């Protein structure tokens, strides 16, 4: 039996590495940046939970992942204060999947670094704002700005509209300055439908956590001149609905910003 197969069979039979720790071969390790690039969606890092206080509650994780990308073991070394959340979160983590980790071109059982953030329950709008009517010929413009952080977070502004895509790279991106691309007007209006369905026009103007050194995100939409914006500064730590993050990511996906931020090698 090869090293990866032995490690996997030991973990499956024992449930943890504890009973075969003496015989378990050393597994190849991958840090978070490598693990992140292998994540298969849906992969929720941020989980709203009753009883969670606003702020930093992150759990650091060590996972063992099979050659098939399945999590077979998950432990946390985070402090005791946040360990109380782990029993409820462990099932979420064990459901994560990854693209196989390779060594010399072959899938292996791997040890990886990950994290999960328990956050307060989502605070949905209490006052409803009637959104504009979206017509087949509506002019739509959606803008996302991501700022720098204490580190190398990509900073840029991207606008997707019924007339095209404009990307303005600021710092820590592959392409600085302005770049343009065509956009399918129907696809842009379909994204606007998601904003309306999410009750975006009723959201708070800002969700701001009392921390420093993180990037800020500003998301706005204009439908036939009716504009709404949301400022997100680690907003989920203070109850910002998760749909805001999903919409931010949807803008990046539609605009294909990766081509300017970090093109595929």
Residue 249, domain member (yes or no) = yes
Domain that holds residue 90: 3-119
146 and 100, same domain (yes or no): no
84 and 149, same domain (yes or no): no
- Asked if residue 10 has pLDDT above 80, the reply is no
49-89 pLDDT, tens digit each: 999 999 888 999 999 999 999 999 999 986 678 888 999 99
Residue 133, domain member (yes or no) = no
How high is the pLDDT of residue 198? Answer: 97
How high is the pLDDT of residue 239? Answer: 95
Q: Which residue has the tokens 């009517």?
A: 133
Average pLDDT, the chain: 90
How high is the pLDDT of residue 177? Answer: 97
Q: How far apart are CA 70 and CA 5, in angstroms?
A: 14
235-259 pLDDT, tens digit each: 999 999 999 999 999 999 999 999 9
99 and 149, same domain (yes or no): no
25-38 pLDDT, tens digit each: 689 999 998 999 99
How high is the pLDDT of residue 263? Answer: 66
- Asked if residue 135 has pLDDT above 70, the reply is yes
Strands (E), the chain: 29-30, 39-40, 46-48, 59-65, 71-76, 97-98, 101-103, 106-108, 110-119, 140-146, 155-161, 164-171, 177-181, 206-208, 217-223, 226-233
196 and 108, same domain (yes or no): no
104 and 157, same domain (yes or no): no
Residue 125, domain member (yes or no) = no
Residue 246, domain member (yes or no) = yes
Q: Is the separation of the CB atoms in 143 and 219 below 8 Å? A: yes
Domain count, the chain: 2
Q: Which of these three, 119, 151, 179, is where a domain ends?
A: 119
Instruction: Name, in order, each residue with C-beta under 8 angstroms of 236's C-beta and a sequence gap of 6 or more.
Output: 46, 48, 117, 119, 207, 242, 245
Q: Which of these three, 68, 85, 119, is where a domain ends?
A: 119
Residue 130, domain member (yes or no) = no
Q: Is 194 helix (H, G, I), strand (E, B) or coil?
A: helix
- Asked if residue 133 has pLDDT above 80, the reply is yes
Residue 129, domain member (yes or no) = no
In this structure, what CATH number is given to the domain that contains residue 168?
Answer: 3.30.1560.10
Q: Which of these three, 119, 148, 182, is where a domain ends?
A: 119
Residue 153, domain member (yes or no) = yes
Residues in the chain: 265
Phi, psi of 121 (to 5 degrees): -55, 150
């Amino acid at each position: 039996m090869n090293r990866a197969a032995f490690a996997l069979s030991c973990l499956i039979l024992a449930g943890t590495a504890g009973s075969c720790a003496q015989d378990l071969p050393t597994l190849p390790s991958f840090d978070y940046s490598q693990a992140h690039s292998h994540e298969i969606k849906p992969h929720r890092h941020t989980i709203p939970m009753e009883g969670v206080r606003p702020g930093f509650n992150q759990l650091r994780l060590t996972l063992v992942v099979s050659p098939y990308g399945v999590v077979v073991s998950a432990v946390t070394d985070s402090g005791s204060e946040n360990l109380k959340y782990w029993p409820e979160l462990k099932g979420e983590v064990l459901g994560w999947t990854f693209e196989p980790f390779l060594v010399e071109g072959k899938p292996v059982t791997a040890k990886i670094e990950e994290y999960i953030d328990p956050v307060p329950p989502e605070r949905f709008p209490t006052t409803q704002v009637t959104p504009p009517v979206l017509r087949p010929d509506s002019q739509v413009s959606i803008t996302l700005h991501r700022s720098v952080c204490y580190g190398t977070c990509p900073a840029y502004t991207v606008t997707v509209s019924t007339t095209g895509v404009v990307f303005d790279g600021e710092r820590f991106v592959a392409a600085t300055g302005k770049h343009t691309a065509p956009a399918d007007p129907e696809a842009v209006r379909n994204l606007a439908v998601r904003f309306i369905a999410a009750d975006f026009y009723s959201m708070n103007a800002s969700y701001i956590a009392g921390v420093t050194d993180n990037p800020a995100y500003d998301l706005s939409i204009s439908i036939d001149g009716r504009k709404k914006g949301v400022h997100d500064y680690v907003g989920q730590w203070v109850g910002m609905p998760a749909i805001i993050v999903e919409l931010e990511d949807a803008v990046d996906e539609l605009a294909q910003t990766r081509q300017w931020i970090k093109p595929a090698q």
